[in-house]
Amino acid sequence: MFMRSKVVFVVILFAALLAMEGHGRAGDLQVQILSLERCVEIALSRHPDLEAARADLEAARARVGQARTQDNPSLSYSTSYTERGSSLSGSSGGPWSSSVTLSQLVTDWGKTHTYVKRVLIEQENSSLSLEQALLDTLYDVRRAYFMLLKAEKNLEAAMETMTLNEIQLEKARAFFEAGRVSRYDVTAAQVSRSNANLAMIQARTARGNAMTDLKRAMGYTGSVFG
């Protein structure tokens, strides 16, 4: 007989997920119950799209800093040593000399100014790209989380329907053996049970897909959810 099992919604990540990052072993089976807030926190800290967007912004800021230094005066210092010798006495001397040079770009016909403007625009674009990536990640995680909630509820309903059909089939068989119903009633109950079983399998598959979608929205790859 089909045994009813109560479905309690939890979003779980096994230690295999940590093993993917080199922090644990897949067999450690440590379970975390993750709230929506925790899922968002994980996504914001590790999603590849966000990491790439942050790296682009840092690179753009570095280019702006480099571009702005081109207008600044530059100071250079050099030291030289000149060796002098005499073939007759074998003596030698080594006077040192040093110099300091201050350079200032007077004009490059606007090239530096144009370059600074360009890298500033690139920095602004990178900042906007990061902001958009953050919004997309938040939306994807929240949507995937609530879709998983819905899938869990659908699975729970499908399992309850399966239980009811299992009970109905047992009743039909008992009544048939007692001569109170026809074979048709048993067959109808069997068909209903088969349909309920198919619906339960589909609901379980949908739940698995929803877990995978949430995992992907959080920035994980591979098969981790059970």
Instruction: Report yes or no: 12 and 34 within 8 Å, Cβ to Cβ.
Output: yes
Sequence-ordered strand ranges (E) for 19-156: 32-33, 74-81, 84-85, 92-93, 96-103
What's the token pair of residue 100?
């300091």
pTM of full prediction above 0.75: no
pLDDT band of 114, cuts 50, 70, 90: confident
Residues 167-220: pLDDT tens digits? 999 999 999 999 999 999 999 999 999 999 999 999 999 999 999 999 999 998
Instruction: Report yes or no: 184 and 174 within 8 Å, Cβ to Cβ.
Output: no
Q: What is the largest CA-CA distance in the chain?
A: 136
Report the alpha-carbon distance of residue 151 to residue 20 in Å, rounded.
Answer: 26
Give yes or no for residue 15 having a pLDDT over 50. no
What's the token pair of residue 50?
């966000």
Residues 62-87: pLDDT tens digits? 998 888 776 656 556 677 666 655 54
Give yes or no for residue 30 having a pLDDT over 80. no
- What class does CATH assign to 12-217? mainly alpha
What pLDDT score was predicted for residue 84? 58
What pLDDT score was predicted for residue 226? 41
What is the chain's mean pLDDT, rounded?
79
Cβ neighbours of 24 (radius 10 Å): 15
What's the token pair of residue 208?
């698995």
Burial class of residue 223 in the structure, from the number of CB atoms within 10 Å of its CB (0-12 exposed, 13-18 middle, 19+ buried): exposed
